[in-house]
Chains A and B, each alone.
Chain A
């Protein structure tokens, strides 16, 4: 088990000293390889808080998290022997707001910072910066730009490139496709899926897009008011009656399929989790 949550609770302290329980008693295992997980749930349900526990940015106020065998808890964080650098290298986290992540003077330095920090040579880090920039759909002219003087979607892309360049074992992405144009969103989802598929790595994506969940996820985690309320596959999730009560929605493909089946009194056979599958089934049914 690469990441293991044991009865994790997390309490934020407000300015007035009042506590706010953002995570309550979360127990969860994430494998080192082969997982493609989407983490979903209503606004304020604790998704970003949970994600920040996956690379020890936050320390649980209750319970403990084991990350690649290292125990993160209130007690261990006091110990000088706890080295966080290896954890940050193994688990790459892309923030929900790219502004929190970007800080260097140029895009090139920003993307190269992570790899350099983990011992990659200057030349190799720059090489990676260029490669990753192209992978996220920006051309070389952006290398010398300031990461602050970019459009919203461009910042998002650069922040993703910075984490990809670290080549982490596990990739945790907090709403990586919000603010991306549809072509960019589709392309980047394919990039994440490729990393998972070809390199057998684990990818965790936080999203509000039910289509992403339905088309890509092998496993779905649903948060509600700080609790993990669902851990299972997308097909079963969306066939539940209470998805709406969790502030979720039915994916477009499924909605359309159900509407067609009802309107034309037909039954399509088998699963249709991609557009191509749905189109093929409709064509078949029309024969």
Chain B
């Protein structure tokens, strides 16, 4: 049994064409999976289905063996945390502190532990001095960092990051990626939705969506060099692999250069 099982799931927003069309996908415990695909391919819809914010019109979703339904959704949300694509949709508190506290209150964490976690995770994302600020009055990147801290503090078994680093500066993005790596090593199952191949290469597996369907799901190192698949869903090769492709097309044989380019790609 996989930790997350998605079986033949379809979803249509009222009056529109299918946002997800017969999607089946399993995610193992401790796995790190990236979900990639063109704008509107269904990535956010899929993530909202996994946490029970949307209900599939067809198919079944199971988390840890429990079938998602109105009765189980509360329990499943304690296991699966999600950082939304738009951090404004995440904020409920008047201050950054309240906001991080909110998720912890839902988990019935004790007061002392709560205070400890709030401070720890605020420091982790470098927002400690902003704890008393209003989340809505922060810069774009600061909002994203607060949204990330709020979910990290909940220490859920699974965390979904929906383009959660899109507005961070290079240094901040690097730090969040480091942190994802550390969490994953400690056993947290991670799902990252991204357009950035440099982030995707860090994960175990890449799932490429196109027009609401799974175009391909394979080990990251296989998808990484699969130019045809990537291009079908508006994605591009990492720069070293694009160069490699160019060398091949021009009949340039240079094994040591190619090996070097491949190694560079694997390091993101």
Contact = CB atoms under 8 A, between A and B. Distances in A.
Contacts of B173: 208
Interface in A167-182: 175, 178-182
A208 B170 contact: yes
A99 B44 contact: no
Nearest to A249: B170
A103 interface: no
A118 interface: no
B86 A256 contact: no
A174 to B, nearest CB: 8
B170 A97 contact: no
B107 interface: no
Contacts of B85: 152, 179
Interface in B160-193: 163, 166-174
Contact of B260 (A12, A151, A179, A263): A263
B264 A181 contact: no
A162 B242 CA distance: 34
A248 B174 CA distance: 11
A183 B85 CA distance: 19
Interface residues of B, number: 47
Interface centre among A16, A152, A260 (most CB of B within 10 A): A152
Interface residues of A, number: 50
B38 interface: yes
A244 B242 CA distance: 26
A184 B133 contact: no
B236 A182 contact: yes
A178 B44 contact: no
Contact of B38 (A97, A181, A208, A283): A181
Contacts of A286: 252, 254, 257
A102 B174 CA distance: 31
Contacts of A185: 195
Contact of B167 (A157, A178, A252): A178
B262 to A, nearest CB: 13
Contacts of B246: 279, 283
Contacts of B140: 43, 48, 96-97, 175
B252 A253 contact: no
Contact of B235 (A150, A183, A247): A183
Contacts of A239: none
A44 interface: yes
A278 B239 CA distance: 10
A252 B197 CA distance: 12
A179 B37 CA distance: 11
Nearest to B245: A279
Contacts of A282: 243, 247
A115 interface: no
Interface in B221-245: 233-236, 239-240, 242-243
B88 interface: yes
Given A275-B243, A279-B246, 6 more contacts: A43-B168, A157-B39, A181-B37, A181-B235, A248-B169, A248-B171
Interface of A: 12, 14-16, 41-44, 47-48, 96-97, 99, 145, 149-154, 157, 175, 178-186, 208, 210, 244, 247-249, 252-253, 256, 259-260, 263-264, 275, 278-279, 282-283, 286
Interface of B: 13, 16, 37-40, 44, 85-86, 88, 132-134, 137-142, 145, 163, 166-174, 195, 233-236, 239-240, 242-243, 246-247, 250, 252, 254, 257, 260, 264
22 contacts: A14-B134, A42-B171, A42-B172, A43-B141, A44-B141, A48-B139, A96-B167, A99-B88, A145-B16, A151-B39, A152-B44, A153-B39, A154-B39, A157-B39, A208-B173, A248-B169, A256-B239, A256-B243, A275-B239, A278-B243, A283-B246, A286-B257
